Structure 1
């Protein structure tokens, strides 16, 4: 699949980032003799970690053997993404005896969540560690870690990626915020990651649907404040799994995520298993484009009370401010690591940012940065030659025309990571 993506991107004349999404410790029921059962409200049902035979209407096995030691009488368990609700009556040995509060169809290997969180399953399983090796073998640009509880989980994932990547490839790490336990540690998880995903499915099951919208806004704001990217995901266009058009509520959901400042919106079942995958992507793109066109932004307010201790960050902020007030057609960041483009993208501005790099890995990684169009260009020449080639490339792509003003940032000497120290204002021709 990774090879297909690279080939398709090449045919389209562009690069995209590939994110490898680790499964994580999905806590599940076992299998049923008939594939599924239908639980009725008020009936008793047993989750039995010691059970070896297939499940039935009375009981089913567990793949997470520690569950009986992590629940107590009165705990609420949510099965199949919260569609079925059961309450723990008592725990005896390896068996959890429950009463069904809200019934429904329960089929093989459906997930289990504990309301309010509190399960101790590690964020990285043996399968995840093997999957990291696979992701590094095809140079995944990002690795998404499921169910991290704290910064340590992210640091461990980064170390595993480093060990698995024999050629020095370093992917960006995305923390999927989907556990109640992650919320108090949100800032430390952010700082240990390159970005976060607002993974609304499992998160909503654990903390409750009503809490998620405010959490989403908070997470997006915090990510941007800490110069991290943010992805908003789960059920964004859910009705398009079976319908060719979205609901008005789904349109508003996608648009509001964009207006809040998310870098990306992500589809799941809509494109993985839905009937209208292409139509869904087209509809989502239209919504994002329209939402961006209606944004209000106050660049000066972004800088009020801020101090920048690094020269490269100060240059990046200066480019934004100058381009905004001059009405520049573009901001051009010549970058080795992508940091300058990332900092610029944390502020809403209607001047497009073109990030020029000589590294294909940097180009792909920057495709996730909001309002950044990453382009591959040879920056090995001396500064003046490289700047002239950059302008020629922008003209050839019809980004700027004779007479247009644009801002360009670069470093001297060129090609040094973190070395951006120059801002130049140019008029084409």
Structure 2
């Protein structure tokens, strides 16, 4: 098969711009693999309705589309102003009031949502509001009042976010409101739950425990957006199923100049631990108002793809932009272009030697075979999607078709680069029968043709989690049937 099929996955945020009739269907047709429900905005009931709309649109399209619920987390914000907006002048004093009874804000002061903020600050600290547009330097702490000096002329409006330069705020990742929303996410039956502002592995363990207590088997996504998360990166990745490079707040806390290198570091660490990784925030931001992206945005997306990210995410571009469908089309086009420009070349000399699981060893052997003899496809029979994930960590020229009878597993695999989930029920079949049956599905779909070789992985016992221990080399015959060439 010569046509290049996009390998990098697209995650698109839903919002007012996608609620109009027909837009969601168009987004799926344009290439969206997973949708994001941003629980930071709107009433939870609106997200429940959007989730149902996704299921309906996916059914119409004959596809399975994963749903990611993004928790708001402990986003620190200023409160409202009496006149909605003020102008701040460089050098003037401006107070932040950490009190539930703080009056409406004006040019001299405004309340803050985090009442413990004074305990986390000292004179000399720099606070960044509205993604760094407004900069305040702490001069003194006077009880619940934080006296600051304005560092730059700027305008400030209601409910803007607040960060501390360099990080160091003690607020935990999960609020009581988050715990309630995890229950809503479980009710919806989402496939992914994203934990905002996680600081360490314990935050991820806590989120997993709460999700499981609500009956949710969703994959847990850690959003790396705090300076503390960088310090604890290895343990957070280990505790996560998926990692998101959340470049908005992270860039504010650690500085724009450090962001490109950290993005690459997070992607590398995630891939090294066989975890799925998403690159997010302002990837095609200009397309909120423009029908085409800037060249800088094209390069940004392409570089993330070349670095190995599994998925790229659209936020405001689809949720509230004027061109949501065009944004997805542009994202898909850029991904394909980037994938075409570099050849997958796995360096097996650097691959891990201390593999603890049979399915990891089978994945490495599969990719070694694929690299050296050339195959048209890799077929993996999987229950949970773990085998497909391990296979995808070794970048391959051949697409990975992951066959599973579980719809949830197929939706979760929708975020894994190089992997194309397929519906197949192998219950009661031998591995040989499953191999022949799955290849017949691919031939009938036009994804394989006569003469093409296939690497087939499975377990000796079908329908068993983590039991992949067999590798077969098959070839498609002239009649479209699989012919065995060998077994390892």
TM-score band w.r.t. shorter chain: over 0.9
Residue matched to 1:324:
371
Distance 1:420 1:230, change over 3 A: same
Out of 350, 369, 379, the position equivalent to 2:416 is 369
Q: Which one of 300, 308, 318 corresponds to residue 271 of structure 1?
A: 318
Which of residues 410, 418, 429 is equivalent to 2:458? 410
Shift of 1:372: 0.2
Name which of 16, 20, 36 aligns with 2:69. Answer: 20
Superposed CA offset, 1:183-207 (max 9, x none):
1100000111112100010001100
Instruction: Give the structure 2 partner of residue 3 of structure 1.
Output: 52
Matching residue within 206, 231, 241 for 1:184:
231
2:289 — aligned with what?
Answer: 242
1:74 lines up with 2:124 in the alignment: yes
**2:244 — aligned with what?**
197
- Deviation string for 1:306-326 (max 9, x for gaps)? 332322211121111212222
Match of 1:367, SS?
helix
1:291 match: 338
Structure 2 CA distance for aligned equivalents of residues 258 and 359 of structure 1: 28
Task: Give me the whole-angstrom Cα distance separating, in 1, the residues matched to 2:377 and 2:196.
Answer: 37
Question: 1:31 maps to what in 2?
Answer: 80
Q: Name the structure 1 match of 2:271.
A: 224
Looking at structure 2, the residues matched to 148 and 318 of structure 1 have their Cα atoms a distance apart, in angstroms, of 35
Distance 1:300 1:148 in 2: 33
CA distance in 1, matches of 2:348, 2:459: 27
Counterparts of 1:321-400 in structure 2 under 5 Å?
321-383=368-430, 384-400=432-448
Which shows bigger deviation, 92-101 or 46-55? 46-55
For the residue of structure 1 that corresponds to 2:147, the secondary structure is: strand
On the 8 A contact 1:302/1:347 being kept in 2, the answer is: no
Match of 1:135 among 152, 165, 185: 185
Task: Name the structure 2 match of 1:43.
Answer: 92
Q: Normalising by structure 1, what TM-score?
A: 0.97
Give the distance between the partners of 2:250 and 2:347, measured in 1 at CA. Answer: 35
Q: Matched residue of 2:172: which SS?
A: coil
SS in 2 for 1:147: coil
- RMSD value over aligned CA atoms? 1.2
Higher relative contact order (CA 8 A, sep 6+): 2
1:87 to 116, 134, 137: 137
2:342 & 2:83 partners in 1: Cα distance?
53
Deviation at 1:5, TM superposition (A): 1.2
TM-score if structure 2 supplies the norm length?
0.86
In the TM superposition, what whole-angstrom CA distance separates every residue of 1:159-218 from its partner, at most 9, and x where no partner exists?
Answer: 0000011xxx41111100000011110000011111210001000110000001000001
CA distance in 2 between counterparts of 1:265 and 1:186 reads 20
CA shift for structure 1 position 155: 0.3
**Matches of 2:108 and 2:352, distance apart in 1:** 62
Equivalent residue for 1:126, pick from 176, 184, 191: 176
* Residues 262-295 of structure 1, C-alpha deviations (whole Å, 9 max, x = no match): 0001111111111111101100110001101112
Classify 1:363/1:9 alpha carbon distance in 2 versus 1 (closer, same or farther; 3 Å): same
Q: CA deviation at 1:255?
A: 0.2
Contact 1:259 1:295 in 2 (8 A): yes
What's the offset of the Cα at 1:304? 4.6
Instruction: Provide closer, same or farther for how the CA distance between residues 253 and 181 of structure 1 changes in structure 2, counting only shifts above 3 A.
Output: same
Q: C-alpha displacement at 1:65, in angstroms?
A: 0.5
How far off is 1:123 after superposition?
A: 0.3
Q: Per-residue displacement from partner, 1:66-94 (whole Å, max 9, x unpaired)?
A: 11121111110001111100111111111
Q: Provide the C-alpha distance between the structure 2 equivalents of 1:305 and 1:374, rounded to a whole number of angstroms.
A: 26
Unmatched segments (≥5 aa) in structure 1: none
Q: In the aligned structure 2, how far is the partner of 1:354 from the partner of 1:60?
A: 55
SS at match of 1:299: coil
